[in-house]
Amino acid sequence: MSGLNLPMQAMAKLQGEYLNEATALWNKTLGRLQADGSAEPAKLPDRRFSAAEWAQNPAAAYLAQVYLLNARTLMQMAESIEGDAKAKARIRFAVQQWIDAAAPSNFMALNPEAQRKALETKGESISQGLQQLWHDIQQGHVSQTDESVFEVGKNVATTEGAVVYENDMFQLLEYKPLTAKVHEKPFLFVPPCINKYYILDLQPDNSIIRYTVAQGHRVFVVSWRNPDASTAGKTWDDYVEHGVIRAIRAIQQITGQDKLNALGFCVGGTILSTALAVLAARGEQPVASLTLLTTLLDFSNTGVLDLFIDETGVRLREMTIGEKAPNGPGLLNGKELATTFSFLRPNDLVWNYVVGNYLKGEAPPPFDLLYWNSDSTNLPGPMFCWYLRNTYLENKLRVPGALTVCGEKVDLSRIEAPVYLYGSREDHIVPWESAYTSTQLLSGPKRYVLGASGHIAGVINPPQKKKRSFWTNEQLVADANQWLETSTEHPGSWWTDWSDWLKQHAGKEIAAPKTLGNKTYKPIEPAPGRYVKQKA
């Protein structure tokens, strides 16, 4: 990375501070030792070293404190580098990855907590850890939960319904009403194609799909096919034309309604918005309202994901798995995607499980969200390459007419529908400020809501849990942080706010249908269908 420089003055300052702190730490450690050889417990601020074994063992406590000092100094060095902003960010990311991997808690020889457990279990924890390591090597990823406990359609993705349409892109699920009457305008969920849809339907008590059905909506969901070699050539246009637009057509024909309400989550929101812009160019406005959850339309600030994307990297992808690759289009393997996202938060999603699973021999507990997180999906190379280049790299979607999709010039401002926009305050995949910029791109009446927590936990926040909070502000000023400064915080889930908003656009109540689909679109199989069960 040419052009990067660590100023000598900054380096000298850091060296001096490091020597002073290291000397003070050594002296404090010596002072903590008492005449009889016992030690007063050290105070370790990092949760990786929170167990009593670290504090009570002078050598382990000293090692942990030296590690924390080294980590802090290395990051200060990375912050002091002068040069290109993106190159500096990559340096910081790489240094943080190394720091997290080098933690003494990650090694049996340095982890007193794991050593104690090995002694107490007479080596059984080591044996169990090795068995779990071999299991994870065979399955190709670190176990974050007990995956044997869950089965799609049995105890996750259990909301009752049926597949009423399918093609080689997706299955369309319709859900059985839970109320005697439903709103006349049907509702469509478009989930991200980089994950499986059932993040929206994990368990009955945290399913936003079931919640929406219970609120009196006739609900349909796109369940994307997990691509294989036969669909490796699918493009972004295919996901728009033969995915979202085809789903809209099917719902119109099943329900007899020209207008529906639609929700897109993450990349699903980007595909849905593109599809609606394509239809707007054709003179169609099929949605009565649009909801976008943690969705990027303006890719000016993509957070930590920006580190992985540049012209060289995108071109390499195009040459290897893109539409014009010498050996034909290929797949972006789902496990590669999953690994990338895990290492965005390595302590929580990687090293935490390395220590627990392998060093301590503890099987991870069942957790539906982490089961879903490990159920990865592939992506067709051409679709993925188009997405990388035209959004993350060149940010063309936000520019009216800059992109042609399905033969139409894309202009998001031509979508004529009220819009509910949601961002999560601690989202590291779609920064909430970036989700907010959609308020400046879409022309219909808009409501922006900011939820607490991250990309998934912020979205999946059922009201009965009475957790977290959300912020609202009717004044949609251009600057996101200015909007936040004058916003109002509300306790609990944003779902109730969204539900109240959605009812205003859902039409009158009519008798709930007694059957799913219709004579043309007959039920093919029970929900959740076959596609969601396909493995990467």
- DSSP string spanning 231-295? GTT--HHHIIIIIIIHHHHHHHHHH--S-EEEEEETHHHHHHHHHHHHHHHTT---EEEEEEES-
Whether 266 is catalytic is: yes
Angstrom distance (rounded) from CA 394 to CA 22: 46
- Tokens 């943690």 map to which residue? 294
* 30: Cβ contacts below 8 Å, ≥ 6 apart: none
Q: Is 174 helix (H, G, I), strand (E, B) or coil?
A: strand
Handedness of CA 89, 90, 94, 100 (dihedral sign): positive
Alpha-carbon distance values, 447 to 273, 422, 483, 497 (Å): 16, 8, 12, 10
Q: Indicate which residue of 193, 266, 385, 406 is catalytic.
A: 266
Angstrom distance (rounded) from CA 100 to CA 346: 7
- Environment class of 464 (CB within 10 Å of its CB; exposed 0-12, middle 13-18, buried 19+): exposed
Asked if 453 and 459 count as a contact pair (C-beta separation under 8 A), the reply is: no
Torsion of CA 195, 196, 199, 202, to 10 degrees: -150
Return the exposure string of 370-407: e unless at least 16 CB atoms fall within 10 Å of the residue's CB, then b.
bbbbbbbbbbbbbbbbbbbbbbbbebebbeeeebebbe
For the record, the structure tokens of 141 come out as 């990823």
For the record, the structure tokens of 144 come out as 């974050």
Q: Is 219 helix (H, G, I), strand (E, B) or coil?
A: strand
Single-letter amino acid code for the residue at 499: S
DSSP assignment, residue 366?
P
Single-letter amino acid code for the residue at 117: K
Alpha carbons within 13 angstroms on the beta-carbon side of residue 316 total 7
Largest CA-CA distance found in the chain, in angstroms, rounded: 88
Cα 194 → chain centroid: 9
How big is the CA angle at 16 (ends 10 and 21), to the nearest 5 degrees? 125
Angstrom distance (rounded) from CA 455 to CA 430: 7
Can you give the length of the chain in residues? 536
- Tokens 């099943």 map to which residue? 254
As annotated, the active-site residues are 266
